Amino acid sequence: MAVLNVTPDSFSDGGVALGVDGSPLRAVERGLALAAAGADCVDVGGESTRPGAAPVPVATEFERVVPVVTGLAAEGVLVSVDTRHAAVARAALAAGAVIVNDVGALTPDDGMLETVAEAGAGYVVMHLRGKPRTMQDAPRFSDVVGDVERELIGARDAAVAAGIAHDAVALDPGIGFGKTLVHNLALLAAVPRLAGLGHPLLVGTSRKAFIGHLTGVDVPAQRVAGSLASAVLAARDGARILRVHDVAATVEALAVQAAIDAAPREGA
Ligand code: HH2
């Protein structure tokens, strides 16, 4: 899953996909390039959810996202929409998106679950307690893996009760969303367990702050090596969807990992 942020302020690539005149054409071109580089799906987002980010008016998010979804879907790209807002999800689905990636799935927006159910779309249930603006204010868990697992299953149950097909749901521990470095590492170490919950597991580590903390690389766009290490390990441990900025590099890394995994084991 390729990240396509149509925002001026995303933590690692704000403004990159926006034309100077706000034209969606540049973002569509970028999305097509991500698909050509090997992404199976392009995740279009119009609101930054970086720690401390202020919410964007829904009308603005709508204007950023819908033309880009329309342009990519018209070119046959599988599009997901990264939004917490039911109105944006509804418009994006009507414009051709087929997955809603809901970072607010633990406390879904009014009408979100029904919108996804009616469209028969896929639904990514990501773990985030609270709101992006305050989520990094002393996050606390009694048992981070157990708490995240339980809360994801609770949100999954609500989604299924609202009519979303069980097999249309993917789960995501929400790396960096209301979590300390220790929490993020515990969740990544628990990928084998989280991947066994009966749904495809999505993991988004790409360029995130915890990689900067581990590597000393301050500039998010330069955190490629650390991002690849985390992506390969997550894939090897059972993650089925990796949400990444650096698509070509990730595809290359996964090709090497897959070849090594397919090689005969000594003694096997
Ligand atoms: N991470 C970000 C945004 N959306 N969705 C899912 N399912 N999982 C994630 O880990 C995830 C996500 C944050 O990354 P990015 O989109 O690059 O930044 P920003 O929120 O600043 O736009």
Identified catalytic residue from 50, 84, 90, 208: 208
**Tokens 């991002």 label which residue?**
227
3-state secondary structure of 63: helix
**Of 105, 83, 108, nearest in space to 5 by CA:** 83
- What does the pLDDT read at residue 129? 82
Q: pTM, whole model, 2 decimals?
A: 0.95
In the chain, what percentage of residues exceed pLDDT 90?
Answer: 83
Are 84 and 103 in contact by the 8 Å Cβ rule? The answer is yes
Structure confidence by residue, pLDDT tens digits, 16-25? 666 545 677 8
Q: Give the model's pLDDT for residue 131.
A: 74
DSSP per-residue string spanning 243-266: -BS-HHHHHHHHHHHHHHHHSPPT
53 alpha carbon to ligand 1 midpoint, in Å? 12
pLDDT for position 54: 80
243 annotated active-site: yes
Token look-up 């997550």 returns 234
Q: 241 C-alpha vs ligand 1 centroid, how far in Å? A: 13
- Please tell me the predicted confidence (pLDDT) of residue 267: 81
In this structure, the residue with its CA closest to atom 18 of ligand 1 is 10
Report which protein residue has its CA nearest ligand 1's atom 3: 49
Cα(131) to centroid(ligand 1), Å = 13
Contact indicator for 125, 105 with CB cutoff of 8 Å: yes
pLDDT of residue 258: 96
Show the ligand 1 pocket: residues with CB < 6 angstroms.
3, 5, 7, 10-12, 45, 48-50, 82, 101, 103, 124, 126, 172, 174-175, 202, 204, 243
pLDDT at 18: 64
Chain segment 10-62, per-residue pLDDT in tens:
777 666 666 545 677 889 999 999 999 999 999 999 998 887 788 889 999 99
Region of 21 (left: φ > 0; alpha: ψ -120 to 50; beta: rest) is alpha
Residues of the chain with pLDDT under 50: 20
Residue 43: what pLDDT?
A: 98
Distance of CA 174 from the midpoint of ligand 1 (Å): 8
Our answer to whether residue 131 is catalytic in this structure is: no
